[in-house]
A and B are shown apart, each in its own frame.
Chain A
Amino acid sequence: MGNSSSMLTQYDIEEVQEYCQNLFSQQEIVSLYQRFCQLDRNAKGFISADEFLSVPEFAMNPLSQRLLKMVDGLNFKDFVAFLSAFSAKASVQQKVKLIFKFYDSDGNGKVSFNDMLEVLRDLSGSFISNVQREQVLTQLLKEAGYSKDSYLTLDDFNKIFGISELKMEVEVPVD
């Protein structure tokens, strides 16, 4: 996949499709490539944090800073792999896995109380006090059978989300 070319060959498309476990159709991958090239202004082969933030809808999102850590500097293949969790064909487990990865910012396979607190802080800002956030989180953890010092693994997350419906789909516009 040439960094400077804006043309994807059929081989490239198939390679990317395999990499994202066929969660996107070939047309969608072509569309995503056009979008990737549009965001990657100087054809470096990845999208920088600044370029992501130039999309106002993204910059306004409360989770954008944390999300940037996951998407900053991704090449096209990884970009598609990241977005594949939002495909309509993705399973609930794949979606939960992405959510887990989002919480587990240091990538050690464990989500700590602090990780969850940080995300909660991003989501609620100054509209809930720190004390209250901790209280709510501790209480709900207890009710679910965990303690404040527990580290949650991916299995725990699967258990927690197991019964709920996750609406996490994004439509890729295909010309």
Chain B
Amino acid sequence: MSSGKGGELIPSSSELDLDRPNIEDYLPSGSSIQEPLGKLRLCDLLDISPTLTEAAGAIVDDSFTRCFKSNPPEPWNWNVYLFPLWCCGVVIRYLILFPVRVIVLTVGWIIFLSCFIPVHLLLKGHDKLQKNMERALVELICSFFVASWTGVINYHGPRPSMRPKQVFVANHTSMIDFIILEQMSSFAVIMQKHPGWVGLLQSTILESVGCIWFNRTEAKDRETVTKKLREHSQGVDNNPLLIFPEGTCVNNQYSVMFKKGAFELGCTICPIAIKYNKIFVDAFWNSRKQSFTMHLLQLMTSWAVVCDVWYLEPQNLRPDETPIEFAERVRDIISVRAGLKKVPWDGYLKYSRPSPKHRERKQQSFAESVLRRLEEN
């Protein structure tokens, strides 16, 4: 929190792109330099306290880092009778539940692969049948995954229907979001291509549900991806697209800004809100802290993964709305439903520095106030 006992966030805009909404329009705004009237004196020029305070405030606490902080469930209070109980719990979880779950998952994979590989190779000619079977099989393996964490998932709202020109968006907490949603109905996702075994899965099995890959590091990537998205959403036979507009995993207590890509496709947007109950495990995948494998193992050695999924009312672009305003409106709907606090940051700031535009804006406002007061002299 910077300079304010009221605990308000002093605004800092996060516009990485020129076409982001102007955050200063709807956040409590104000230039960081107050404008006292009167002649410009030496102490006014040398007084860097407002800017310095903002910097110190950012060092002490900032809304961006809070979005990616893991909040594991509170540890128990150790005392004489709770500790042995907890130990029993650990034994059960690691020595009984975990092996059972591994077996369940292995069985699931065996069934899946023994059906998927023949279907994939033999039904080459019968496109529609092949597609339907592969989709059903992916739904099946996702159910096995969910079972392997003892997933208790409450779905609310009408199940998504297979209609063309429909795109689903959801808030993002972990890669398991996709598995949880895919279990219910077959979606095509747009995902970051990962290395390792996940990447292998992505290129073989997920291709069958029609996934699109992007690469955060490639600059031109966005245009190609947008093109692919548009083509996919127009196709009649394709699975509906599932997009996570935040672009990165957030800790399920905050939501970062939605990228406008999904909202410019000219389709109906069906928002989905996902909220995990931290009572048994924190489902947030902190990609800075652990690999996906460790994350999965952590899930498999916990009691359960409990979450709520809400399928919300489909939204369309209003005639007087820009895609960015549309994105923010949908973000609002999802955040309210899932109890998330909105922050005006771009998720990609996790991987890159803010553009110099923001600093320049502050410099401009300072310069203008100095020059204005000089004229008053």
Taken residue by residue from 338 to 371, chain B's Cβ proximity to chain A (1 for < 8 Å, 0 otherwise) reads as: 0000000100010001100011101110111011
Query: A60 and B354: CB pair below 8 A?
Result: yes
Which residues from chain B contact A120 at a C-beta distance below 8 Å? Answer: 45
Assuming the A-B contacts A124-B366, A171-B1, A171-B4, are A140 and B41 also in contact, with contact meaning beta carbons closer than 8 angstroms in the complex? Answer: yes
A53 to B359, CA, bound (A): 13
Is the CB of B318 closer than 8 A to any CB of chain A? no
**B53's contact among A54, A58, A86, by CB below 8 Å, is which?**
A86
Taken residue by residue from 115 to 126, chain A's Cβ proximity to chain B (1 for < 8 Å, 0 otherwise) reads as: 010011001111
Which residues from chain A contact B58 at a C-beta distance below 8 Å? Answer: 55, 57-58, 61
Nearest B residue to A52 by beta-carbon distance? Answer: B59
Assuming the A-B contacts A38-B65, A57-B58, A83-B59, are A164 and B363 also in contact, with contact meaning beta carbons closer than 8 angstroms in the complex? Answer: no
A169 to B57, CA, bound (A): 8
**A38's contact among B3, B46, B69, by CB below 8 Å, is which?**
B69
**Chain B CB within 10 Å, residue with most, of A120, A140, A160:** A140
Query: B50 and A167: CB pair below 8 A?
Result: yes
A161 to B49, CA, bound (A): 11
Which residues from chain B contact A146 at a C-beta distance below 8 Å? Answer: 42
Query: B362 and A58: CB pair below 8 A?
Result: no
A76 to B141, CA, bound (A): 49
Query: A83 and B60: CB pair below 8 A?
Result: yes
Query: B49 and A95: CB pair below 8 A?
Result: yes
Taken residue by residue from 49 to 71, chain B's Cβ proximity to chain A (1 for < 8 Å, 0 otherwise) reads as: 11111111111111111000100
Which residues from chain B contact A144 at a C-beta distance below 8 Å? Answer: 41-42
A20 to B354, CA, bound (A): 33
A50 to B359, CA, bound (A): 17
Query: B288 and A41: CB pair below 8 A?
Result: yes
Query: A164 and B14: CB pair below 8 A?
Result: no
Which residues from chain B contact A53 at a C-beta distance below 8 Å? Answer: 353
Nearest-neighbour CB distance to chain A for B175, whole angstroms, equals 22
A168 to B51, CA, bound (A): 9
Which residues from chain B contact A99 at a C-beta distance below 8 Å? Answer: 46-49, 52
Which residues from chain B contact A58 at a C-beta distance below 8 Å? Answer: 55, 58-59, 62
Is the CB of A102 closer than 8 A to any CB of chain B? yes
Query: A125 and B364: CB pair below 8 A?
Result: yes
Which residues from chain A contact B364 at a C-beta distance below 8 Å? Answer: 125, 127
A143 to B45, CA, bound (A): 13
Query: A125 and B46: CB pair below 8 A?
Result: no
A127 to B55, CA, bound (A): 21
Which residues from chain A contact B45 at a C-beta distance below 8 Å? Answer: 116, 120, 136-137, 140
Within 8 A of B (CB), among A48-99: 52-64, 67, 71, 83, 86, 95, 98-99
Is the CB of A107 closer than 8 A to any CB of chain B? no
Query: B56 and A86: CB pair below 8 A?
Result: yes
Nearest B residue to A162 by beta-carbon distance? Answer: B43
Query: A55 and B52: CB pair below 8 A?
Result: no
Query: B42 and A143: CB pair below 8 A?
Result: yes
Within 8 A of B (CB), among A1-60: 32, 35, 38-39, 41, 52-60
A146 to B42, CA, bound (A): 10
User: What are 29 A-B contacts defined by CB distance under 8 Å?
Assistant: A35-B61, A38-B65, A55-B62, A55-B65, A56-B64, A56-B354, A58-B62, A59-B354, A61-B51, A61-B58, A71-B59, A83-B56, A99-B46, A116-B45, A123-B48, A123-B367, A125-B364, A126-B360, A127-B363, A127-B367, A140-B41, A160-B42, A161-B47, A163-B43, A164-B44, A167-B53, A168-B3, A169-B3, A170-B56
Since A116-B46, A169-B53 are in contact, a sample of 5 more A-B pairs with Cβ atoms closer than 8 Å, ordered by chain A residue number, is A140-B41, A164-B43, A167-B49, A170-B53, A171-B5
Contacts from B to A (Cβ < 8 Å): 1-5, 7, 12, 14, 40-65, 69, 288, 345, 349, 353-354, 358-360, 362-364, 366-368, 370-371, 374
Contacts from A to B (Cβ < 8 Å): 32, 35, 38-39, 41, 52-64, 67, 71, 83, 86, 95, 98-99, 102-103, 116, 119-120, 123-128, 136-137, 140-141, 143-144, 146, 157, 160-161, 163-164, 166-173
